[in-house]
Structure 1
Amino acid sequence: MSTPQRIALAQSGDVTVVTFNDSKIIDDLSIQELGQELANLVEKEDRQKIVLNFGAVEFLSSAALGKLISFEKKVRAKKVKLILTNIRPEIYEVFAITKLTKLFTIKDDEADALAVL
């Protein structure tokens, strides 16, 4: 498997913690790469518990949100547990307005996410 460029991975027990390398996820190429790297976690690597830590992310485009929704569908189909954490208030507001807070499980921080997985 190739080394991910857009994400960094860490293990906490049986949970894969994903942090994003880009603070702004806006251009099409990086969004496509990000989507593929996330998809590989469930399609090729068979990860069963994933925490997406948005601590470094300052801005997400609508296309990036679309990739997250696609990823959520893949995760749900494979019965993988997924939790999002450390979402900045201005990004969380977009999740709330678009009702994505109902689609995703969101915790304040990584420790909270790990505690429920």
Structure 2
Amino acid sequence: MTEVQLVVQNIGGVVVVNLGSSSILDGGVVEALGRKLFELVDEQAHRKILLDFSQVKFLSSAMLGVLIRLQKRAHAIKGRLAIYGLRPELHKVFRITRLEQLFNFYDNEQDALSSFGTFGH
């Protein structure tokens, strides 16, 4: 089993997850990331999740699937998922696959955190 280290911190009620890997291509890594991310929603019931993609350069289609499932799970508990720090070439992948409308994207952490504002209050 592949071990993946995520840096998770709570900032003003928003769970910020730094994916920390420049390449999310390996099936084992994707599976391990998925488990950890799903746990935040399914077991810990976090409703405000912010993913930091600033270090990610490569992303597999399987990881896109994980993100779609995470978004659906968050939505099911009336939660919200946002992404920041996405490189232009990765943002293009979301645009081409028409997934851009499924997620909220922000350039930096501060803008992303501000976007949660009164969400869930």
Q: What amino acid is aligned across from residue 84 of structure 2 in structure 1? A: T
Residue 10 of structure 1 deviates from its aligned partner by: 1.2
Partners of 2:4 and 2:29 within 8 A in 1: no
Q: What amino acid is aligned across from residue 116 of structure 1 in structure 2? A: S
Q: Following superposition of structure 1 onto structure 2, how do residues 10-89 of structure 1 map, counting pairs within 5 Å?
A: 10-89=9-88
Counterpart for residue 8 of structure 1: 7
Q: What 5-or-longer segments of structure 2 have no aligned partner?
A: 117-121
In the aligned structure 2, how far is the partner of 1:73 from the partner of 1:6? 23
In the aligned structure 2, how far is the partner of 1:13 from the partner of 1:37? 21
In the aligned structure 2, how far is the partner of 1:48 from the partner of 1:62? 25
Residue 33 of structure 1 deviates from its aligned partner by: 0.5
* Identity between Structure 1 and Structure 2 (%): 39
Report the count of equivalent residues. Answer: 114
Residue 34 of structure 1 deviates from its aligned partner by: 0.5
Q: What amino acid is aligned across from residue 62 of structure 1 in structure 2? A: S
In the aligned structure 2, how far is the partner of 1:6 from the partner of 1:98? 28
| CA offsets 1:9-55 (integer angstroms, 9 cap, x no match) | 01111011001121100011110000110000011111121100100
Q: What amino acid is aligned across from residue 69 of structure 2 in structure 1? A: S
**What TM-score results when the alignment is normalised by the length of structure 1?**
0.93
In the aligned structure 2, how far is the partner of 1:104 from the partner of 1:57? 17
Runs of 4+ in 1 over 3 A off after TM superposition: none
Partners of 1:16 and 1:50 within 8 A in 2: yes
Residue 59 of structure 1 deviates from its aligned partner by: 0.4
- CA 1:60/1:81 → structure 2, altered by over 3 Å: closer, same or farther? same
In the aligned structure 2, how far is the partner of 1:109 from the partner of 1:80? 20
After superposition, the CA RMSD in angstroms is 1.2
Q: What 5-or-longer segments of structure 1 have no aligned partner?
A: none
In the aligned structure 2, how far is the partner of 1:21 from the partner of 1:88? 14
